[in-house]
């Protein structure tokens, strides 16, 4: 495939509908693949997760359950349809009696693996989801080829946007903006209408998702929150300014490309906050392109990376909305600042800078291990 076909292939693979946090989603999906006809006859359930999936699923809401964490994700998976994949919790009716039964039979194991890993054993039935949230993995040589592309390749792609990717981009805009209401939890009065609305809408969408509102998001790079961060600030800017749908589509395409590029430099879940350090990089690139054109993108991405690189991920939770607010502010500042930095981790261009950010990210494993220890202690205290 040529370069444009490659980028289109990657976007189609890495932009997926998801209902709720994708880590409770992978649990529910895997459980649904192994569920017996009558869940009330289950004798034992053993759930094995990589440590990062455990981290992100630990305290996040499960849609259509009114509950948070791993146990309701397992129960909801028993009620869901595996054909729905990461929308497995769609249209379920939660069963409190089943939760009481499963709570006595569920054992959770946490393993130290670099790849996404979810294994469910229900009596003699086994299902696994490995390597991505759906188990569909982009071949390593295809990922490597994508990572070898240049900023000029990305520019050529978005400015000659293939028609076949447009429906996916439009769906991402519609789904993720739809999550921005209601706005009930955040009361900002920043004296800048655009920035105020960008923060309120984006943070509200993340909050709504983390409390389990039953609306799907378009996940980008394995994360619905990253998808929201990569799209909503740009959509808000478009609605309040030019209302230029062609430019919006090109900007969302660039944002998605940069979000996925940043993800491929490390892993789907990492010690650093992906919403800020990946979705935020995408949003910054897309917003810079929308406002000033491609020539501003490199500088804006480097400005952003010099500010928020290293923000810790301590798991999916309602507090992610506050991290996102910081990311939106930094993105807007980075785009609208004439600062040509070169110190610290900044590289010769934005892609070189992102490679340096990934080096910092990979060095944070010991910090993440401490987060996992804290969560394990909290889990043991609650049992």
Cα Rg of the chain (Å, integer): 20
pLDDT (0 to 100) of residue 383: 66
20 in Cβ contact with 68 (< 8 Å): no
* pLDDT of residue 189 exceeding 80: no
Domains and CATH numbers, the chain: 5-14+138-372 (no CATH), 20-135 (3.30.1330.120)
pLDDT at 248: 98
pLDDT at 142: 97
What is the dihedral sign for C-alpha 305, 55, 19, 82? positive
CA distance 109 to 46: 7
C-alpha to C-alpha distance for 105 and 182, rounded to whole angstroms: 38
Q: Strand 45-50 relative to strand 117-122: parallel, antiparallel, unpaired?
A: antiparallel
Query: pLDDT at position 310, please?
Result: 87
Taking the alpha carbons at both ends of the chain, their separation in whole angstroms is 52
**Can you give the pLDDT at residue 339?**
77
pLDDT digits (tens, 9 = 90+) for 1-53: 899 999 999 999 999 999 999 999 999 999 999 999 999 999 999 999 999 99
- Range 352-358 contact pairs with CB under 8 angstroms and sequence separation of 24 or more: 353/301, 353/302, 353/305, 354/261, 354/262, 354/265, 354/281, 354/301, 354/305, 355/265, 356/305, 357/262, 357/265, 357/277, 357/305, 357/309, 358/262, 358/265, 358/266
Does residue 114 have a pLDDT over 90?
no
DSSP letter for each residue of 148-179? T--HHHHHHHHHT--GGGHHHHHHHHHHHHHT
- Under the banding of pLDDT at 50, 70 and 90, the label for residue 188 is confident
Q: What pLDDT is stored for residue 318 in this prediction?
A: 93
Give the distance between the most distant pair of CA atoms in the chain: 65
| 21 assigned to active site | yes
Residue 349 tokens read as 């261009």
Question: Can you give the pLDDT at residue 184?
Answer: 64
**Helices 3-14 and 245-264, packing angle to 10 deg:** 80
Average pLDDT over residues 194-209: 95
Q: Residue 187 has what pLDDT?
A: 73
Task: Determine whether 319 is exposed, middle or buried from the number of CB atoms within 10 Å of its CB (0-12, 13-18, 19+).
Answer: middle
Is the pLDDT score of 340 beyond 80? no
Buried b (16+ CB within 10 A) or exposed e, 341-363: eeeebbeeebbebbebbbeebee
pLDDT at 186 over 80: no
Rounded Cα distance between 219 and 18, Å, is 6
* pLDDT tens for each residue of 141-160: 999 999 999 999 999 999 99
Q: For residue 90, what pLDDT band results from cuts at 50, 70 and 90?
A: very high
Residue 341: per-residue pLDDT:
66
Contact status, residue 89 vs residue 64, Cβ threshold 8 Å: yes
3-state helix, strand and coil shares in percent for the chain, rounded to the nearest 5: 60, 10, 30
Percent of the chain predicted with pLDDT > 90: 91
Size of the chain in residues: 383
Output the pLDDT for position 191: 83
**Percentage of residues of the chain with pLDDT beyond 70:** 99
């Amino acid at each position: 495939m040529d370069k444009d076909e490659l980028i289109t292939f990657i976007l189609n693979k890495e932009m997926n509908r998801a209902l709720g946090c994708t880590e409770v989603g992978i649990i529910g999906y895997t459980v649904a693949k192994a569920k017996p006809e009558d869940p009330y006859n289950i004798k034992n359930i053993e759930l094995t997760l990589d440590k990062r999936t455990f981290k992100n699923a630990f305290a996040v809401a499960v849609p259509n359950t009114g509950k948070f964490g791993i146990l309701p994700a397992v129960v909801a998976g028993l009620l869901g349809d595996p054909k729905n994949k990461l929308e497995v919790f769609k249209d379920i009716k939660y069963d409190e009696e089943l939760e009481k039964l499963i709570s006595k039979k569920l054992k959770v194991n946490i393993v130290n693996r670099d790849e996404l890993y979810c294994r469910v054993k229900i009596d003699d039935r086994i299902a696994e989801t490995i390597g991505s949230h759906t188990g569909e993995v982009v071949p390593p040589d295809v990922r490597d080829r994508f990572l070898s592309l240049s900023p000029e390749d990305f520019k050529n792609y978005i400015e000659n946007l293939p028609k076949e990717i447009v429906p996916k981009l439009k769906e991402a805009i519609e789904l993720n903006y739809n999550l921005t209401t209601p706005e009930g939890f955040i009361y900002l009065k920043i004296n800048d209408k655009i920035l105020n609305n960008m923060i309120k809408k984006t943070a509200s969408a993340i909050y709504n998702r983390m409390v389990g509102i039953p609306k799907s998001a378009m996940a980008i790079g394995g994360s619905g929150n990253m998808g929201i961060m990569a799209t909503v600030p740009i959509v808000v800017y478009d609605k309040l300014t030019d209302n230029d749908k062609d430019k919006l589509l090109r900007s969302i395409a660039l944002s998605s490309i940069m979000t996925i590029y940043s993800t491929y430099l490390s892993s789907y879940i990492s010690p650093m906050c992906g919403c800020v350090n990946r979705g935020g990089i995408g949003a910054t690139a897309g917003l810079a392109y929308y406002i000033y054109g491609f020539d501003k993108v490199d500088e804006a991405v480097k400005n952003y990376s010099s500010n928020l690189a290293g923000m810790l991920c301590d798991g999916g939770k309602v507090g992610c909305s506050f991290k996102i607010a910081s990311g939106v502010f930094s993105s807007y500042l980075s785009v609208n600042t004439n600062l040509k930095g070169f110190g610290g981790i900044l590289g010769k261009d934005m892609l070189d800078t992102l490679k340096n950010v990934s080096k910092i990210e990979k060095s944070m494993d010991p910090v993440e291990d401490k987060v996992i220890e804290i969560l394990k202690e909290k889990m043991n205290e609650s049992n």
